[in-house]
Structures are given as C-alpha cells and as structure tokens.
C-alpha cells in the first residue's frame, strides 16, 4: 500500500510537470473510485488550471485555480502516471480508473489494479475539514518528540496499531511503522502507553529517519507501486524487518518473526524488540 514516502515521491514528480497545466477534461473509466456523482467530479475539474501539488498523509492533493482541489487517495495499489501525450499499445496503463487530459496534450492516469483508491473534487473548505480530522504530519517541524511522548501516553492500543491510526499521525502505514518500531527497540504489540519516554524519543527519530530515507529512495515497491514516471521505488533492499520473516536480524542475527495484529502482519526481532 502506498504510504507517505510513496505519495511524496509521486507529488514531487508531478509538481515539476503539471503546475500551470489546464485540465481539458476528465474521463472516468470506473465510477466506483469516485466519492461523489460523476457530473460533480467531471464538471468541477473541466477547464481548471493546476496551481499546486502537495501531499497530506497518504493523499495526493492537486490544487486548482478555483480554490478547490482534486484529492486522490492511492488506496492499496494506486499510481498516478504522467505521459507527455496519450500512450498507445503496451505503454498504456493496464488498470486506468480516471484519466485527466490536459490542454497541452499531456495525460495523467490514475491507475489502480484493485480499485480501493478514491478520487474526489472538493471545495477548499470541505477538504480543510477533512484534513483537520487527520493527525499531524510526522515530518513537519511542529511534530516534536514531546508531542509523540504525550500522544502515546493517552492510548492503550498496540504501538504498531497506534502508528497506523491516521487520526493519531498522518501518512504512516504498515511498512514504515514496523521499521520505525525496530529502530526504537519497541515490540509492535506493546501498549502505546507502556512505551517509555526514552523509547518514544527514539521512535520519533526513527520514524522521521526511515520516512526521509524512503523518500530519498523514491519509496518502496513490493509489487504495484510506481512513481509518476513509472519507475519503481528503491527502498525495499533497505528494509530491516518488514517482509523478512525467518531472515536474520541485521543487528543480532536472530530470525525475524511475524505476528498478526488487527488482521495485519507485524514483523519484529524477538531479541532487539522485547515485549516487556
């Protein structure tokens, strides 16, 4: 599933090319990715110019000249693929859901194999209200270790589940939650309020470090993820625990283990991440 680094990589790729583009029309191939009636979506986008591209959590936010936005959640398998002109034959994305056609001739595909992603045209105040319900951005200057210490102390949820709650912190998914917990030496099932202050400081730093490194590598491709240019992310080879069940821990050599929390796999080292 695309997480913060993947969404950020896509945003940076798009920003360099689509700002100032004018949307000639939006073609919707699969209406089930829309969170609104078809006419509200296509009518809202038609003729609008793109003024900015940014990220909020795992969402790609395309700001328009009307003050409105196109909000895209990539879901589990979504990609945004940009082409200088309409692709043909084998170059055409295999699972297009929405296609933005620009006045310049460029084309942006929202490609989503499993169609768990969403696309929505929103007025600024509606998007702001939704954004306000999300947690802080973990890479923002204002998100301090002290904030994480305080927020963890208020929850009894398992630490891994706490990190995945978008109301607590925005953009973190299962890959980077597992990696950050490993760096902090915190077992994924440890209750959030049992994480010590010193561990929480390490978790704050570890989370920011792993997110920044993943962004620098263009994200993590396990199967479907591609950036805006269609390239895979390069962070997979640097994963320490995620998806490495049975492989040796890079620190102590003990086999990485897997457990299930809230119907999702969590990976950890039983030596470096004590349950205590």
Point out the residues that are catalytic: 2-3, 58, 264
Token pair recorded at residue 1: 């599933």
Residue from 178, 222, 244 nearest 76 by CA: 222
Contact 73, 59 (CB under 8 A): yes
Q: Exposure pattern of 96-121 as b/e (b: 16+ CB <10 Å)?
A: bbbbbebeeebbbbbbbbebebbbbb
Paired strand residues for 99 = 27, 109
H helical segments located in 139-192: 145-152, 159-164, 174-184
Q: How far is CA 36 from CA 33, 42, 44, 114, 115, in A?
A: 9, 10, 11, 19, 15
C-alpha distance across the termini of the chain, in Å: 30
Token pair recorded at residue 182: 């490993």
In angstroms, the CA 122 to CA 44 distance is 8
* Torsions phi, psi for 251 (to 5 deg): -100, -50
């Amino acid at each position: 599933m695309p997480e913060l680094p993947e969404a950020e990589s896509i945003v940076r790729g798009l920003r360099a090319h689509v700002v100032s583009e004018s949307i000639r029309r939006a073609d919707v191939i699969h209406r089930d990715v829309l969170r609104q009636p078809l006419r509200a979506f296509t009518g809202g986008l038609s003729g609008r110019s793109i003024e900015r591209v940014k990220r909020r959590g795992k969402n790609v936010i395309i700001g328009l000249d009307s003050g409105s936005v196109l909000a895209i959640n990539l879901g589990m398998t979504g990609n945004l693929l940009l082409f200088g002109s309409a692709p043909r034959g084998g170059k055409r994305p295999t699972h297009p859901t929405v296609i933005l056609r620009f006045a310049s001739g460029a084309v942006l595909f929202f490609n989503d194999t499993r169609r768990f992603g969403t696309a929505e045209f929103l007025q600024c105040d509606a998007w702001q209200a939704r954004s306000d319900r999300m947690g802080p951005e973990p890479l923002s200057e204002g998100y301090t270790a002290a904030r994480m210490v305080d927020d963890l102390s208020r929850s009894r949820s398992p630490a891994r589940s706490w990190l995945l709650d978008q109301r607590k912190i925005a953009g973190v998914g299962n890959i980077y939650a597992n990696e950050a917990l490993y760096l902090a030496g915190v077992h994924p099932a440890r209750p959030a309020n049992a994480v010590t202050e010193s561990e929480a400081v390490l978790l704050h730093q570890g989370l920011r470090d792993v997110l920044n490194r993943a962004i620098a590598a263009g994200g993590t491709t396990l199967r479907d993820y591609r950036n805006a240019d269609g390239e895979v992310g390069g962070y997979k080879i640097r994963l320490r625990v995620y998806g490495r069940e049975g492989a040796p821990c890079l620190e102590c050599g003990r086999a990485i283990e897997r457990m299930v929390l809230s119907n999702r796999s969590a990976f950890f080292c039983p030596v470096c991440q004590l349950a205590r």
